[in-house]
Amino acid sequence: MVRRGRPPKIGRDEIVVATLGVMTERGIAGLTTREIASRVGISEGSIFYHFGDRKGLIKAVFDEALRPLWQFRAVPPGPPATADELREGLHRFVVGVAEFLESGLDVMMAAQADVSVRNETFAVMLENDYGPQRGIDALTRYISSAQASGVVACSVDPQAVAQILIAATFLPAAQPRIVGHTRGLVAPERILDSVMALLVPPPSSAEDAAADDQRRSMSTPVARSPHSTATTSS
């Protein structure tokens, strides 16, 4: 007699991955608990047990899709000390946004096909504060920390630069999905190089600023009596 072992226990992560696969392939409007249960090999009751309803399932999918962005929190242990560290941090963040858009954008665009599903998806995003503002806020804090440490020029608007980077990452992901081609898109490295040119002052400017600071420190004003009427002549 052959004994068969118990089937492996399926957890939340496996269900979320399967749900994300269904959304990517069929769109959110085609998302059903029956399809997910069939893929994973569980009962529909198990899905409701883990997530409560489809709204809870959609939230879990967004959490999974957003994971690359959460990883950015561990990138800078502190403000970047050099321009190279700043560029590496920005690069990793942009990669994280692009990874999220590969799956998250499909979900959001698919939701537009059905009004009820769209409203349900928007409700999840509003309730959990999902959206580009999260990426902009995180990136703004990172650039501001680099500004405070002297790596980024004080004339830079960190929030504006953060929005530029988020928009520049969104376009390459959205354009092929909307118009079916990538014509006219600029390579990510070129965009990052241009942003770095905005953030970090050229060496000559930095040297000039240091020289100005040194001159100011060497020119100590002479104390004068408030009652003195003497003037200096050249």
State the greatest distance between any 2 C-alpha atoms of the chain, in Å, as a whole number: 115
| Predicted pLDDT of residue 68 | 61
Tens-digit pLDDT profile for residues 71-125: 555 444 578 999 999 999 999 888 888 887 876 777 677 667 667 667 877 887 7
Measured CA distances, 121 to 10, 36, 61, 170, 174 (Å): 25, 18, 11, 19, 18
The DSSP symbol for 115 reads: H
> Which tokens hold the place of 13?
């992560």
What is the DSSP code string of 25-84? HH-GGG--HHHHHHHHT--HHHHHHHHSSHHHHHHHHHHHHTHHHHGGGGS-SSS-SSHH
Q: Are 58 and 124 in contact (CB under 8 A)?
A: yes
Query: Taking the CA atoms of the chain, what radius of gyration do you get in angstroms?
Result: 27
Instruction: Give the Cα separation of 118 and 123 in Å (integer).
Output: 8
Its pTM stands at 0.65
Give the single-character DSSP code of 157. -
pLDDT digits 0-9 by tens, 131-148? 778 888 889 999 999 999
Q: What is the pLDDT of residues 214-234, one digit of tens each?
A: 644 654 444 444 444 444 444
Q: Give all domains of the chain, ordered by start, each with its CATH number.
A: 9-64 (1.10.10.60), 66-180+187-201 (1.10.357)
pLDDT surpassing 80 at residue 177: yes
Contact 76, 143 (CB under 8 A): no
Summarised one tens digit per residue, pLDDT across range 43-84 is 888 888 888 877 788 778 777 766 665 655 544 457 899 999
207 contact partners, CB below 8 Å, separation of at least 6 = none
The interaxial angle of helices 83-111 and 12-26, nearest 10 deg, is 70
